[in-house]
């Protein structure tokens, strides 16, 4: 029962315990992590091609993704709105000119292209491709080890995390409300509650959630989790500049785990440097929670 949990947590913890101080090594880890994400998503696409009743399964993927993202985002927005009402976030920042949001969205969609390429190759039924599932498991272990190193290398200490009340407050609201959305989605989709909770635990970290969910629940649920979290990030990119003036906590919360990396430049330009510490703490906390909760709910 706990083998899946150990496969996820052991490499993550070992990576976190390994402290790399040289910037060159940390850059290499980040580069390797990017490559591993592409490799594993490629394997995920191949696994999709081997599904029985392919057309009906593809419809199920998009149905699951659409319902789950709608429920999770709705619960997040409601909870963050209540937080804004009780704890408004005062600021003096004037918004800067932003880079093209279309360009940033296309960067996210590159990962979809990798899944599509793997899917197209898998349709050829080339015999060596049948080892994709086993290869992806070993690649996943390496990826989680690198994620642990990256989290340790971010330089965040427990003291810094606890002291940034706004970042932790928003992270807690997003974490709990997303799980509530996952429960609602599971009920609407007639899925086990633990599956709905696991799908909600990605917090926008699509490159990791899709991989972990595929390992735990198969390519249909894994792909649905991937698209669910990808849609969350794309929505955040589009809405941050509009929301950040009057609803800073909501703008930050929509980013989920990506607020410490991919969506951080948008947050910084839209909300100023004062939002950056909260964004890093928020993203770090959710990045730490995501693999642990997915492992817990899928064990």
pLDDT tens readout for residues 180-205: 999 999 999 999 999 999 999 999 88
Alpha helices in the chain (DSSP H): 3-17, 23-49, 54-86, 101-122, 132-153, 158-163, 165-189, 193-200, 206-217, 219-243, 248-255, 264-271, 276-298
Give the pLDDT confidence score for residue 115 in this predicted structure.
Answer: 80
Domain span at residue 218? 3-298
Q: Over 80: is that where the pLDDT of 281 sits?
A: yes
| b/e 76-98 (16+ beta carbons within 10 angstroms → b) | bbebbeebbeeeebeeebeeeee
Q: What values do phi and psi take at 2, rounded to 5?
A: -100, 5
Tens digit of each residue's pLDDT (9 = 90 or more) over 41-100: 788 778 777 766 667 788 888 899 999 999 999 999 999 999 988 888 765 555 555 556
Give the pLDDT confidence score for residue 107 in this predicted structure.
Answer: 62
Query: Domain count of the chain?
Result: 1
Give the pLDDT confidence score for residue 75 in this predicted structure.
Answer: 96
The arithmetic mean of pLDDT across residues 98-124, rounded, is 72
Give the pLDDT confidence score for residue 138 in this predicted structure.
Answer: 81
Tens digit of each residue's pLDDT (9 = 90 or more) over 142-174: 877 887 787 777 666 656 656 778 889 999 999
Q: State whether residue 191 is helix, strand or coil.
A: coil
- Round the average pLDDT of the chain to a whole number and report it: 81
Give the pLDDT confidence score for residue 240 in this predicted structure.
Answer: 81
Express as a percent the part of the chain with pLDDT over 70. Answer: 84
Give the pLDDT confidence score for residue 2 in this predicted structure.
Answer: 46
Give the pLDDT confidence score for residue 1 in this predicted structure.
Answer: 38
Residue carrying the six token digits 């490629």: 42
Give the pLDDT confidence score for residue 118 in this predicted structure.
Answer: 86
Give the pLDDT confidence score for residue 155 in this predicted structure.
Answer: 65
- 201 or 110, higher pLDDT: 201
Give the pLDDT confidence score for residue 198 in this predicted structure.
Answer: 94
The arithmetic mean of pLDDT across residues 252-257, rounded, is 91
């Amino acid at each position: 029962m706990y083998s899946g949990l150990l496969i996820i947590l052991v490499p993550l913890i070992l990576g976190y315990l390994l402290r790399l101080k040289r910037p060159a090594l940390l850059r290499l880890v980040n580069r390797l992590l990017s490559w591993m994400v592409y490799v594993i998503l490629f394997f995920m696409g191949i696994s999709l091609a081997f599904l029985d009743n392919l057309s009906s399964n593809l419809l199920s993927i998009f149905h699951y993704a659409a319902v789950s993202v709608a429920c999770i985002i709705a619960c997040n927005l409601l909870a963050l709105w209540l937080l804004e009402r009780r704890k408004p976030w005062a600021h003096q920042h004037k918004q800067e000119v932003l880079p093209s949001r279309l360009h940033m969205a296309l960067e996210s969609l590159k990962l979809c292209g990798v899944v599509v390429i793997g899917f197209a190759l898998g349709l050829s039924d080339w015999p060596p491709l049948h080892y994709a599932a086993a290869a992806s498991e070993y690649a996943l272990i390496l990826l989680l080890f690198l994620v642990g190193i990256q989290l340790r290398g971010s330089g965040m200490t427990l003291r810094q995390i606890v002291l940034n009340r706004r970042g932790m407050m928003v992270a807690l609201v997003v974490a709990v409300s997303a799980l509530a959305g996952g429960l609602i989605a599971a009920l609407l989709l007639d899925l086990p509650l633990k599956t709905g909770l696991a799908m909600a635990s990605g917090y926008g970290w699509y490159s990791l959630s899709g991989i972990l969910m595929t390992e735990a629940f198969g390519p249909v649920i894994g792909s649905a989790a991937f698209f669910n979290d990808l849609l969350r990030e794309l929505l955040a990119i589009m809405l941050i500049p509009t929301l950040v003036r009057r609803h800073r906590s909501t703008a930050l919360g929509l980013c989920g785990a990506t607020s410490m990396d991919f969506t951080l430049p948008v947050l910084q330009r839209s909300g100023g440097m004062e939002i950056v510490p909260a964004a890093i703490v928020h993203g770090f906390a959710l990045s730490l929670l995501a693999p642990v909760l997915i492992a817990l709910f899928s064990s």
